[in-house]
Amino acid sequence: MDAIISGRAGVALLVEGEVLSSFDVEDPATLLPRQPADLRLLFGEAPDVQFLEHVDRAEAARQLDLAFNQASALDLALILFDPELTGDVRDDAAVELERLLSDPPVVEYLENILYGRTLPAASDIAGALLRCAGGRLPKLSVTLQLLEGYQPSIRAVCVAWDALPTTLFGGDEEKTEFQRTAVREGLFRKLAVEAASGPRAHVDEFILRARLNPSVASLKNDREVLQQWASPFRLHATVPRVTHEVDDFLEESSQRRGRRHARRRRGTAEEELNKVQRQIDLIVEAMQQRNFAFARKITNQVIDYQLETTRPINAAKTLCNLATEAKALGIYSLQLELTERAIQIVPDDDWSWTQYADALLKMHRLADALKAYEQAESFGAGVIAKNGRAEVLKAMGRLDEALAAYDAVLVDNIGDAFTKTGRAETLRAMGRLHDALTAYDSAVAEHPESAVAKRGRAEVLKAMGRLDEALAAYDAVLANNPNDSITKNGRSCVLIALRLYDEALQLLPDENPATLNDWIGYHMRGMIMLRTGKIEEAIEIFERGVREDPIPSSKEYFRNALAVACLRRGGREDLERAGNALEGVTAPLLQPQANVLRLHAFGASGKDALAVTAHEKLRDKPWFIPDELVAELHRRYILKEEPRHDDDWVFEKEEDTFLFDPNQQMLSYTFLPAA
């Protein structure tokens, strides 16, 4: 039996000798008798009619189901990209598309079509990607990220196609027919992927494989068309772009391949480097767009290529450089992934270990970070590893050990500005504010270029309650670095303490946080809402932080703040929510604030035992938690005595613990590259 099917029409026509019958994709069990004249009615103008030879009914039904799913996947993708459709329709399209993408032939069909042209300007791929956020729709997410990442290659492939003269095909219609076949058979997709592969582009293999496809081979002048089309993507077609790394690469290349014909190869090596550099640019661009699937894919290509053609250390360096880019963008999970791979490739490279330890610190895996810094030190990483180790101890709340570690570096007289500011920060965190100020003054004097030292000094002045001096110190930093977001956040904090809320709001970043400083600023925005009585808006901000802030320790600040806001609102359910929010606070440095709030939340909801435990943990509370606040909460919820202050006083004191917390600003220094 033969069959004619169309997924677009959703119909299969079975041909058994002279007898014709059909069934619909919605009801494959029901067979309807047909006449030859029905063919036109059944398939209409469907562009995807397929002829199947020697198939039985079950196979025809299976093929029809696949073709229907392929056509549906394309429809759903177009719905997903359409910004004019409502969110619920686009959401449902995303979920159904995820289901359809479980079938590899559906993925291939969809990609073949979507890679045939760049997405129209009106396509909302960002909105489509947003629907996959949080790992809910992993297959769709990867498909979209790759599609987005390959757009420049797709554009290049289409430009190359459009430039082909019509005469090469024998006419306009022939060119259109060739293009239709090339899209359907995935040639546009394959060439776009090759075009993004830098020096690994296998153009000849692309042509060979394309010509092995009977549908392509039957087209007029196929060899010449493919040769000309793919020509811009051959290595020799690159316009050389000289960079400072060229010579290193050339040396590496010639050492590995022998020096014969080095002169002739120089051009090729430069081209290869340019292609690698272009791929690295692509990866960074993909990171900026949070297109991780594409970033990973191209990274794998670059690293595999480097492992084949140069020493492993170069691949590790590339990974560490990319990790630095990821860190600058606040993508710490990717920083960790890249550095982890670097130490796997070169297990004894001190630089890779340092970068790996730094990534672990960012991800708040403090014990692992400590070990990694020790490992880096054992491979000869020196002062960077020592500073890093002290930094981790500080983040663990082991402030005495951190101070000792910094002092040890300074005793060896190898300390730099990082050591001195790190030590000063530790003193500040210990509440030794005068010592901290002295340390910062000294750091500023020795390293006047260090914005970290100057900001730290301003922080100490703020913590000492010398708010006017703190403002002046921040202003001095801003005078040299007007766009320094860490300083702006610090200044805002002082303005909030001075109740100058509008002025503070003006300094804060907009309401779409992306970087760590954006999130810290967003947290402050919530605090301003809270301070000005806009509790619902504050809760909305803190809930979003808990939900979306990608930085684990920063996210915990939002948990604490959400607990305060819930306590402020004061309903029975709010007390429960406050307790739940506090459950997720695990960072050692945040425990004192969390325990104040636990004492409040558990005490107010009658969970006396839990309140007592929280109070006991406050025995060694840090300096920025006022004694009178702990005493008031103790009086109210443990001793069950009459309060001495009203609720507003309590809430304000609790909120102050955020404003005067030295650790939140410290996050900026810990989690951001040095200014």
Partner 1 sequence: MSQIRPCGYCGHDFHISKPHCPHCARPALYGNVVTAEDREEVAALERRYEAAKLAARSRGAEALRAVESFEAEVSNTRAVIARPAGELQRLSTSDREGYASFYELIEAGIRFPSGNKWDALRPAADETLFPYYKDKIRFAALTLDGKGLPGYGECFIVLRTEMIEHRASAFEENSLLFFSKHFKTGIDEETRLPRGYRATWGERGKLCVAKLAGGIDGATTPDAYSGLLLRQGPRPEEDDFVEVHVWGPMTIRTVERVSFNKPTSRTAREITNRANKQRLAKFGVTFG
Shortest CB 229 distance to partner 1, Å? 22
| Nearer to partner 1 among residue 27 and residue 646 (C-beta) | 27
Residue 240 in the binding site for partner 1 (CB under 8 A): no
Q: Kindly state the smallest distance separating residue 116's Cβ from partner 1, in Å.
A: 17
Q: Which of residues 289-328 bind partner 1 (CB under 8 A)?
A: none
Under the binding rule (CB under 8 A), the answer on residue 264 touching partner 1 is no
Q: Which of residues 81-100 bind partner 1 (CB under 8 A)?
A: 82, 84-86, 89, 92-93, 96, 100
669: Cβ contacts below 8 Å, ≥ 6 apart: 421, 425, 452, 455, 456, 486
Identity of the residue, 47 or 606, whose beta carbon is nearer to partner 1 in the bound complex: 47
* CB of 93 or CB of 369, closer to partner 1: 93
The vertex-609 CA angle with 605 and 615, nearest 5°, equals 90
Using N-to-C axis directions, what is the helix angle for 203-212 and 222-230, rounded to 10°? 150
Which residue number, 98 or 425, has a Cβ lying nearer to partner 1? 98
Nearer to partner 1, 34 or 457 (CB): 34
Site track for partner 1 across 583-612, x = CB under 8 A: ------------------------------
CB nearer partner 1, residue 74 or residue 601: 74
Spatial CA neighbour of 414 closest among 384, 376, 371, 389: 384
- Which amino acid appears at position 198 of this protein? G
Residue number, 92 or 441, with CB nearest to partner 1: 92
* Comparison of 39 and 396: residue with beta carbon closer to partner 1: 39
Q: How far apart are CB 220 and partner 1 at their closest, in Å?
A: 16
Question: CA 319 → CA 129, 149, 275, 304, 554, distances in Å?
Answer: 26, 19, 17, 12, 26
Nearer to partner 1, 95 or 674 (CB): 95
Mapped onto helix, strand or coil, the DSSP state of residue 30 is: strand
Q: How far is residue 2's CA from residue 56's CA, in Å, rounded to a whole number? A: 8
Shortest distance, position 449 Cβ to partner 1, whole Å: 58
Q: Is residue 38 a contact residue for partner 1 (CB under 8 A)?
A: yes
Interatomic CA distance for residues 564 and 585, integer angstroms: 13
Residues in Cβ contact with 176 at an 8 Å cutoff, skipping those fewer than 6 apart: none
Nearest to partner 1 of 65, 374 (CB atom): 65
Least distance from partner 1 to the Cβ atom of residue 21, Å: 13
Candidates 278, 315, 320, 317; CA nearest to 300 is 315
Nearer to partner 1 (CB atom), residue 76 or residue 429: 76
CB of 122 to partner 1, least distance (A): 11
Residue 45 or 620 having the CB closest to partner 1: 45
Cβ of residue 88: shortest distance to partner 1, in angstroms?
8
Q: Which of 16, 56, 59, 173 binds partner 1 (CB under 8 A)?
A: 173
The residue type at 194: E
C-beta closer to partner 1: residue 35 or 413: 35
In this complex, which beta carbon is closest to partner 1, that of residue 140 or of residue 594?
A: 140
Which one, 25 or 539, has the nearer CB to partner 1? 25
Compose the 99-128 pattern: x for residues touching partner 1 by CB under 8 A, - for all others.
-x----------------------------
Q: Nearest distance from residue 393's CB to partner 1, in Å?
A: 55
With 0-12 CB in 10 A as exposed, 13-18 as middle and 19+ as buried, what is 143?
Answer: buried
Q: 585: phi > 0 → left, psi -120 to 50 → alpha, else beta; which?
A: beta
Task: State in angstroms the smallest separation of the CB of 72 from partner 1.
Answer: 3
Q: Considering only residues 17, 40, 104, 571, which one is a binding residue for partner 1 as defined by CB under 8 A?
A: 40
- Minimal distance in Å, beta carbon 59 to partner 1? 20
Query: Binding residue for partner 1 (CB under 8 A) from 1, 39, 262, 313?
Result: 39
Residues 42-81 that bind partner 1 (CB under 8 A): 44-47, 68-69, 71-73, 75-76, 79
For residues 637 and 641, give the distance between their C-alpha atoms in angstroms, rounded to a whole number: 8
β-bridge partners, 19: 16
Q: List the one residue out of 194, 28, 1, 568 whose CA is nearest residue 12.
A: 28
Give the whole-angstrom CA distance, residue 652 versus residue 655: 5
Rounded-to-integer distance, Cα 399 and Cα 391, Å: 10
Instruction: Return the bridge partners of 14, or none.
Output: 3, 21
Distance CA 481, CA 316 (A): 33
Supply the minimum distance, in Å, between the C-beta of residue 110 and partner 1: 12
Q: Does 631 bind partner 1 (CB under 8 A)?
A: no
Site string for partner 1, 219-238 (x = CB under 8 A): --------------------
Which parts of 523-614 are beta strand (E)? Answer: none
Tell the burial category of 19 from Cβ atoms under 10 Å away from its Cβ (0-12, 13-18, 19+). exposed
* 5, 8, 354, 457: residue in contact with partner 1 (rule CB under 8 A): 8
Among 351, 389, 387, 361, smallest CA distance to 373 is for 389
Q: Tell me how far, at minimum, the Cβ of 297 lies from partner 1, in Å.
A: 28
Q: Which stretch binds partner 1 (CB under 8 A): 31-39, 470-478, 481-489, 660-668?
A: 31-39
Can you tell me which of 19, 36, 510, 606 binds partner 1, judged by CB under 8 A? 36
User: What backbone torsions phi and psi does residue 514 show, to the nearest 5 degrees?
Assistant: -130, -45
Determine, following the binding rule CB under 8 A, whether residue 35 of this chain makes contact with partner 1: yes
For residue 234, give the 3-state DSSP assignment: coil
Tell me the C-alpha distance between 391 and 423, whole Å. 9
Closest to 570 in 3D by CA, of 654, 651, 653: 651
- Provide the minimum distance between the beta carbon of 675 and partner 1 in the complex, in angstroms, as a whole number: 49
- Specify the residue, 106 or 497, whose C-beta has the smaller distance to partner 1: 106
Q: Shortest Cβ distance from residue 78 to partner 1 (Å)?
A: 8
- Residue 607: which residues within 8 A CB-CB, separation 6 or more? 579
CA dihedral angle for residue 633, residue 637, residue 639, residue 645, rounded to 10 degrees = 40
Size, binding site for partner 1 by CB under 8 A: 33
The region of 32-40, 214-222, 228-236, 411-419 touching partner 1 under the rule CB under 8 A is: 32-40
Rounded to whole angstroms, the Cα distance separating 221 from 181 reads 14
Secondary structure of residue 18 in the 3-state scheme = coil
Give the x/- contact pattern for partner 1 in 11-30, rule: CB under 8 A: --------------xx----
Residues that bind partner 1 in the complex, under the rule CB under 8 A: 8-9, 25-26, 35-41, 44-47, 68-69, 71-73, 75-76, 79, 82, 84-86, 89, 92-93, 96, 100, 173
